[in-house]
Amino acid sequence: MSKEGKELMDFAAQRAHNWTQAPYDEATQSEVRTLLEEGGEALVEAFYTDLEFGTGGLRGLMGAGTNRMNAYTVAQATQGLANYMLDVVPSGASIAIAHDSRNNSPAFARVAAEVMAGNGIEVHLFPALRPTPQLSFTVREFGCTAGIVVTASHNPKEYNGYKVYWSDGGQIVPPHDKGIIERVRAVSGPAEVQWGQDAASQARIHLLDDQADQAYWKTVLDLRLSEDLISNGSDLSIVYTPLHGTGSVSVIPALDAAGFRNVHIVESQRHPDGNFPTVHSPNPEEGAALSEAIELAKTVNAQLVLGTDPDSDRVGIAVPDAQSDGGWRLLNGNETGALLVDYVVSQRAQKDLLASGDFVAKTIVTSDLMADIGRYAGLDVHETLTGFKWIADAIRREEGKGRFVAGGEESYGYMIGDEVRDKDAVAAACVLCELAHVAHADGSDLLGRLEAIHRTHGAYKEALVSQTKQGRAGKAEIAAQMEGFLTSPPADLAGERVIEVRDYAAQRATDVRDGSTRTLDLPASNVVQLVTDQNTLVTARPSGTEPKIKFYFSVRMAVDNWPNGDYSQAMGALESRIAQLKQEMGVVA
């Protein structure tokens, strides 16, 4: 072992010894003693640092240790959040708290509730699992100062975390994010936590009832635009899987209330289970997660397959396609987002429900097709950093000037209307089913609708490659990759000249042809984009919540340039171009 390695091991062991005595509970003490006895990298990773409370909250592996999700790291983070809330709202502060289906989520939510109550803050706690978008809605509905949802979104079963929301229902953004982080870091240990287990504190915890559910579902039902669906319902055959998550208590009843009478649930994945026993990862971005749903769809002649992640903020879909292996095609997040935005915008335009200042929103790594659709309808377009908190921030900034109509991001998150201020798979699932119903009635389907969009705005194709790099060494490797893109960007990509390098951390775009620069009018973020003379866009972005670096590829082709005017040939050419880009960037999945 190197000198540096030994010093790190000694540091981790010293911190771990503190966890083998009170106030830590006996189960935690026992787990840490085992780590100390075994030593090695597991001990170092659990204690070499504190689990970082980032701009979105907490996320990490569950287990004992300062760098793990457990009752103590949750309590300390919650104490820091409570301190900040009381700085901003010295009296009358309140918070809403929800949790998903993950292991330990109910316990972590209870810890957060008790700590908040121990600090004199009124708590509105959901008595059982609820989806993330409902938490966002409830924060605004109850006029809360803040909100917490305990979830690790679509991560594997070993993870948990929590997201923090402010009074507008959106995840925290400046200045609150930095203020909360400072307060969380200032909490040095469990002795500084107001644990809130006394009777007076417990009385401040109010369990929410069915009225909270009904209020949220009403906002989902109010999004319906098809008069036929509203009046007559739908018999379209649909398959849905909640992937062992909160969709079981939200998407299923919402689809029923919206009038979809022929929805087939994947029974093996209906019930909440934090072990996610039927999938490697409960992530609807991955085709394997929808495999059981697709098999069921083949037997019931379904026209649409949907799956949501454990906290029901992301939705993935598949549609029948005779040209695809197995007869079904998975749509990526950009394709689904374009379909949703196009449907909502066109329907609202037909019903004269759009007004000056209304806008759509997308992130910098999301297809420009969504922006094209919005501008074509005469709407404003807001482009934000990655993450729905920035779209929520745009909605807050535009209140009184224009309303958010629809938008999304490539990572399977979508939002319609502004009642919820985070991506909402419950509402998106209902609107996608409505779109499938309307398309079917018109003698078309979702692929037909997508082709029509491309024929109007040009063909688009996107792809994403994620590289996982665990631990301290992984962080260093990711940092080196990002530095390389800035200091030594490629001159050409797929036969196209690179003309601009966008450094979002420095908030500067550089034209490599003449060295001129322009300001990127967005908050600083660790993102690098390469732009070619054919409007191809390649983006590198380390994940803020996972040990990954993500590469986004976006290519396009104007209708006039389609080979022989043929749609399938155009899409094939774009697919080949993306494959070449991946190869040249050295990030082939």
Kindly report the CA angle at 80 between 198 and 149, in degrees rounded to 5?
80
Structure confidence at residue 194 (pLDDT)? 98
Task: Give whole-number Cα distances, 260 to 243, 253, 272, 536, in Å.
Answer: 20, 10, 22, 40
Nearest to 161 by CA among 93, 96, 112, 206: 112
Q: Decide: helix, strand or coil at residue 538.
A: strand
pLDDT tier, 476 (very low <50, low <70, confident <90, very high otherwise): confident
Q: Which residues, at least 6 apart from 200, have a Cβ–Cβ distance to it below 8 Å?
A: none
154-188: pLDDT as tens digits: 889 999 999 999 999 999 999 999 999 999 999 99
Q: Would you say 446 and 454 are in contact if contact means Cβ atoms under 8 Å apart?
A: no
Amino acid, res. 116: M
Say if strands 205-207 and 122-125 run parallel, antiparallel, or are unpaired. parallel
Q: Are 150 and 245 in contact (CB under 8 A)?
A: no
> In this structure, what token pair is assigned to residue 187?
């909490």
> How many CB atoms within 10 Å of residue 91?
6
Which token pair is 1? 């072992």
- Residues for the chain: how many in total? 589
Q: Find, among 512, 16, 430, 18, the residue nearest to 251 by Cα.
A: 430
Residue 409, pLDDT score: 94
* 353-370 residue pLDDT tens: 999 999 999 999 999 999
Specify the pLDDT at position 191.
95
CA torsion, ordered 504, 508, 511, 514, to nearest 10 deg: -150
Read off the pLDDT of residues 33-75 as tens digits, 9 standing for 90 and up.
999 999 889 999 999 999 999 888 999 999 999 999 999 999 9
Catalytic, 167? Answer: no
pLDDT at 544 over 70: no
Q: How far apart are CA 146 and CA 139, in angstroms?
A: 7
List % helix, strand, coil for the chain (3-state, nearest 5): 45, 20, 35
Which residue out of 105, 153, 291, 554 is catalytically annotated?
153
Q: Rounded to whole angstroms, how far apart are CA atoms 189 and 202?
A: 22
What residues are paired with 149 via a beta bridge?
A: 98, 163
pLDDT at 548: 82
Q: What is the rounded average pLDDT of the residues 390-407?
A: 96
pLDDT of residue 546 exceeding 70: no
The CA dihedral of 184, 190, 193, 195, to the nearest 10 degrees, is 130
For 411-455, write each residue's pLDDT tens digit: 999 999 999 999 999 999 999 999 999 999 999 999 999 999 999
What DSSP line would sit under 264-276, residue for residue?
EE-GGGTS--TT-
